[in-house]
Chains A and B, each alone.
Chain A
């Protein structure tokens, strides 16, 4: 992504004393009060109401019924499928995104190429819902351009068992916004992969593959994994595209939350809260990994 391309600073300067560190702890904390107030109002309180709602009935009394419900097979099955879909697209989007990002960001790549790809990625990463579902129906659907193209050449993907309207098709569609997201997230880290290291490795006689195996990937790995965890969360929470493409025939947690909370028939918002609370637990664990990995990644970039 577009980032500051100045030379990174070298060794840290000796810690200055005096004015910068005066003021003491209490005063300094005042500076971040607006931010934390904002986050409390707009993020923490809503999240809290969700968790509280998971343990309530419609009338407000406490209950474990919702939690029990989501432990039923139809719901645990949904969590499993959601996890699978998220993991698969985090990988597919992550790997493809990394390869494309590196190709347009490395030295030797014209800068217009980078601008085009990163701006396109910005738009594509947010292209979801009905328009995206339809774009893939128009491409890989029964009369989609790719399907027809292949059929004219004797390959009928549908008779071979492929269908757009199930897991694989949804994964392919999700990748459309996953890999640009990866490009956007990983580019700053790629920029940090200093050219000097590559030059040094080459001067020492290393091949491209050796460079990557022994220098590049180890350095990038924490940032890579961290980015994939973000992709994982992104896919896990995706709703509009899934609903538009597979309706309710794939058991996914966001779809079940949608059923609980926005139905034509009956609404069961507390069950929806419980399902969402389950999501929070899973993603929170994933994000914990992410936080740990990012800390390791930061070490290399100082």
Chain B
């Protein structure tokens, strides 16, 4: 959570580019999807990549000088580098409150700190909470320059929130404790994994654990409308003696053998793998054939104490540079297909990711499907998993 200011950086905007950008901004913003000025948007995105952000926005943001973000751990989807880059690109400092916070806590912080200078400016929350926040009318609409390249099913049409990155369910196995890392869901019930299979949290409250159960559902005859088979599958894992109730979202537990196999989002398992490697421990990440995918959403608080800093943050996140930083953290940025189409994904980075076949046919659930699944899960997880 670095809060020290960065050294000065001179602006690099020439008058000619100002002109170009002015025209492009106008055209680009008008062309949101409806008119289909894809070339214009791509060119504008190219401008963002080149580091040319609207001078007025940058000036206003730098005048505010500060940005309050919340619940963005440095090792989650490479937020550490994203935070550092934002602070060094412009004269900005960032405070990251409660890095371990949940999405609901982010929303509560917005409501509890209305009008305070310490209130959060931007949010990175689950879709369900984003929708709730929109309903509670605490979000500020803002459409980033690259708006049209965000898929329609991953954004709110008024610009209140939009997806920033997504992940799919994956398995992390610590080699020291797991000789034969599981590759598919069915493997998880094998006797060799006794007491080893863990989740990153309680599925009734943790997004990644919820995703794991949903993934199991999709792999066992369930659907986005039916999470039941997923719960049954975990009950089967428990009956086989393979279930491990310890939280797998702590790297120390992985290292100590307390959670030899963990089912988490791919950007988390891959980052964990790298963390363990730093301490000399080898781990394997496998993505099963059937996955559940979910995205997180960016939004600006209506009561943001630093609204321009927040907007600049959004522009940065949705620029090519920002989106690629997510990719560096193994999280697929929401604009991935656009980046790939324009050949913007560096080959070295693409190589480190799981095979693209895992991501080709993913479908995100709708709000109604999420509500239904959550209700079923809350009711049945306790009894079926023999919680006592």
Chain A residues with a Cβ under 8 A of chain B: 74, 77, 81, 130, 134, 137-138, 141-144, 158, 165-166, 243-251, 255, 258-259, 261-267, 269
The 6 A-B residue pairs whose C-beta atoms are closest, nearest first, are A248-B202, A264-B207, A249-B245, A267-B104, A263-B205, A143-B257
Q: Give every chain B residue within 8 A of A265 (Cβ-Cβ).
A: 103-104, 126, 128-129, 204-205, 207, 210, 370, 374
24 A-B pairs in the complex with CB atoms less than 8 angstroms apart: A74-B383, A134-B253, A137-B246, A137-B258, A142-B257, A143-B257, A158-B195, A165-B246, A246-B245, A247-B247, A248-B201, A249-B202, A250-B388, A262-B104, A263-B205, A264-B102, A264-B125, A265-B129, A265-B205, A265-B210, A266-B132, A267-B104, A267-B107, A267-B108
A111 to B199, CA, bound (A): 49
A110 to B210, CA, bound (A): 56
Q: Give every chain B residue within 8 A of A251 (Cβ-Cβ).
A: 382, 387-388
B85 within 8 A of A: no
Residues of B198-250 at the interface with A, using a CB-CB cut-off of 8 Å, are 199, 201-208, 210, 244-247, 250
A142 to B250, CA, bound (A): 16
Q: Give every chain B residue within 8 A of A250 (Cβ-Cβ).
A: 245, 387-388
A258 to B199, CA, bound (A): 17
Chain B residues with a Cβ under 8 A of chain A: 101-105, 107-108, 125-126, 128-129, 132, 195, 199, 201-208, 210, 244-247, 250, 252-253, 256-258, 370-371, 374, 381-383, 385, 387-388
A141 to B103, CA, bound (A): 31
A130 to B250, CA, bound (A): 9
Task: Write the nearest CB–CB distance from B125 to chain A, whole angstroms.
Answer: 8
Task: Write the nearest CB–CB distance from B221 to chain A, whole angstroms.
Answer: 23
> Which of the residues B125, B253, B257, B382 comes within 8 Å of A74, measured between beta carbons?
B382
Q: Which residue, A143, A144, A269, has most C-beta atoms of chain B within 10 A?
A: A143
B250 touches A264 (CB 8 A): no
A138 to B208, CA, bound (A): 25
Given contacts A138-B256, A165-B245, A243-B247, contact A264 B206 (CB under 8 A): yes
A39 to B385, CA, bound (A): 43
B102 touches A263 (CB 8 A): yes
Q: Give every chain B residue within 8 A of A243 (Cβ-Cβ).
A: 247
Task: Write the nearest CB–CB distance from B131 to chain A, whole angstroms.
Answer: 10
Given contacts A165-B244, A261-B104, contact A81 B128 (CB under 8 A): no
B250 touches A134 (CB 8 A): yes
A77 touches B388 (CB 8 A): yes
| Closest A residue by C-beta to B377 | A265
A244 touches B108 (CB 8 A): no
B202 touches A267 (CB 8 A): no
A266 touches B387 (CB 8 A): no
| Closest A residue by C-beta to B104 | A267
| Closest A residue by C-beta to B210 | A265
> Which of the residues B104, B195, B199 comes within 8 Å of A247, measured between beta carbons?
B199
Q: Give every chain A residue within 8 A of B382 (Cβ-Cβ).
A: 74, 251
| Closest A residue by C-beta to B371 | A266
B126 touches A264 (CB 8 A): yes
Q: Which residue, A165, A245, A246, A248, has most C-beta atoms of chain B within 10 A?
A: A248
Q: Give every chain A residue within 8 A of B256 (Cβ-Cβ).
A: 134, 137-138, 141, 143-144
Given contacts A165-B244, A250-B387, A264-B129, contact A141 B257 (CB under 8 A): yes
> Which of the residues A74, A166, A262 comes within 8 Å of B205, measured between beta carbons?
A262
A269 to B132, CA, bound (A): 13
A258 touches B205 (CB 8 A): yes
Q: Give every chain B residue within 8 A of A269 (Cβ-Cβ).
A: 108
Task: Write the nearest CB–CB distance from B34 to chain A, whole angstroms.
Answer: 33
Q: Give every chain A residue within 8 A of B246 (Cβ-Cβ).
A: 137, 165, 245-247
A240 to B115, CA, bound (A): 30
Q: Give every chain A residue within 8 A of B201 (Cβ-Cβ).
A: 247-248
| Closest A residue by C-beta to B383 | A74
Q: Give every chain A residue within 8 A of B107 (Cβ-Cβ).
A: 267
A134 to B253, CA, bound (A): 7
A248 touches B205 (CB 8 A): yes
A18 to B362, CA, bound (A): 86
Q: Give every chain A residue within 8 A of B383 (Cβ-Cβ).
A: 74
Task: Write the nearest CB–CB distance from B272 to chain A, whole angstroms.
Answer: 16
B132 touches A267 (CB 8 A): yes
Q: Give every chain A residue within 8 A of B101 (Cβ-Cβ).
A: 262
B104 touches A264 (CB 8 A): yes
Q: Give every chain A residue within 8 A of B128 (Cβ-Cβ).
A: 264-266
Q: Give every chain B residue within 8 A of A267 (Cβ-Cβ).
A: 104, 107-108, 129, 132
B253 touches A259 (CB 8 A): no
A265 to B126, CA, bound (A): 7
